[in-house]
């Protein structure tokens, strides 16, 4: 039996892939440079036990555990799921504003979101830019799949800084 929504064959289209918006991305060298910058907030969107290092982060597509457990030093943990209601819709703007304010996320700071490999870094990026109006938010696309597997990058274990 076909899956719901797949009853009809796909139709040809003229869709053209657009280039990535590089201004929304940041790479490891920039993240490392900003570690000492007091005007940058790093948001780790992974589950808390991965953030603290009690459980390993894993590459989504392969399930391979990262070489090092924990988070990028100075990062705060706001799990990607915390942006949503139980039914999968986004929380209200007021709820989201309060949640991020409770973690001292403010408009006067640059923000970098990350996770295991960029997938779960995007809900906080979307909420912060599109719903809460932050201007300087970027995604560290390679996230912990790169950072935690490079022995030259520092990794912190434990709770919030």
Domain with 96, as residue range(s), is 22-147
Predicted local confidence at residue 18, as pLDDT: 86
Choosing from 115, 127, 139, 144, the catalytic residue is 115
In terms of pTM, does the model score above 0.85? yes
Given this model, what pLDDT does residue 5 score?
A: 57
Q: Is residue 135 included in any domain, yes or no?
A: yes
Average pLDDT over residues 51-80: 93
Residue 115 annotated among the catalytic residues of the structure: yes
Q: Would you say residue 3 lies in a domain? A: no
The reply to whether 34 falls in a domain is yes
Which residue do the tokens 């706001």 mark? 78
Residue 161 placed within a domain: no
- Determine, yes or no, domain membership for 10: no
Is 79 inside a domain boundary? Answer: yes
Residues 121-156 have pLDDT tens digits of 999 999 999 999 999 999 999 999 999 999 999 999
**Cα(72)–Cα(51) distance, rounded to whole angstroms?**
9
| Residue 62 lies inside a defined structural domain of this protein | yes
Q: What is the DSSP letter of 11?
A: P
Q: Is residue 13 part of a domain?
A: no
Kindly report the CATH number assigned to the domain that includes residue 58. 3.40.250.10
Tens digit of each residue's pLDDT (9 = 90 or more) over 5-44 = 557 788 888 888 888 888 899 999 999 999 988 899 999 9
N- to C-terminal Cα separation, the chain = 51
Number of domains present in the structure of the chain: 1
């Amino acid at each position: 039996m076909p899956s719901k929504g797949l009853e009809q064959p796909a139709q040809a289209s003229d869709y053209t892939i657009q280039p990535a918006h590089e201004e929304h991305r940041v790479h490891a060298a920039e993240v490392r440079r900003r570690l000492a910058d007091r005007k940058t907030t790093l948001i780790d969107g992974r589950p808390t036990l991965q953030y603290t290092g009690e459980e390993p982060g894993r590459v989504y597509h392969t399930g391979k555990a990262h070489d090092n457990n924990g988070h990028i030093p100075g990062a705060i943990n706001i799990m990607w799921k915390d942006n949503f209601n139980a039914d999968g819709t986004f929380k209200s703007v007021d709820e989201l504003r309060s949640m991020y304010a409770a973690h001292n996320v403010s408009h006067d700071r640059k923000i970098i979101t990350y996770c295991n490999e960029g997938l779960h870094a995007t809900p906080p990026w979307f909420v912060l830019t599109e719903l809460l109006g932050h201007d300087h938010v970027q995604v560290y696309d390679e996230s912990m799949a790169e950072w935690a597997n490079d022995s030259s990058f520092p990794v912190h274990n434990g709770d919030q800084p």
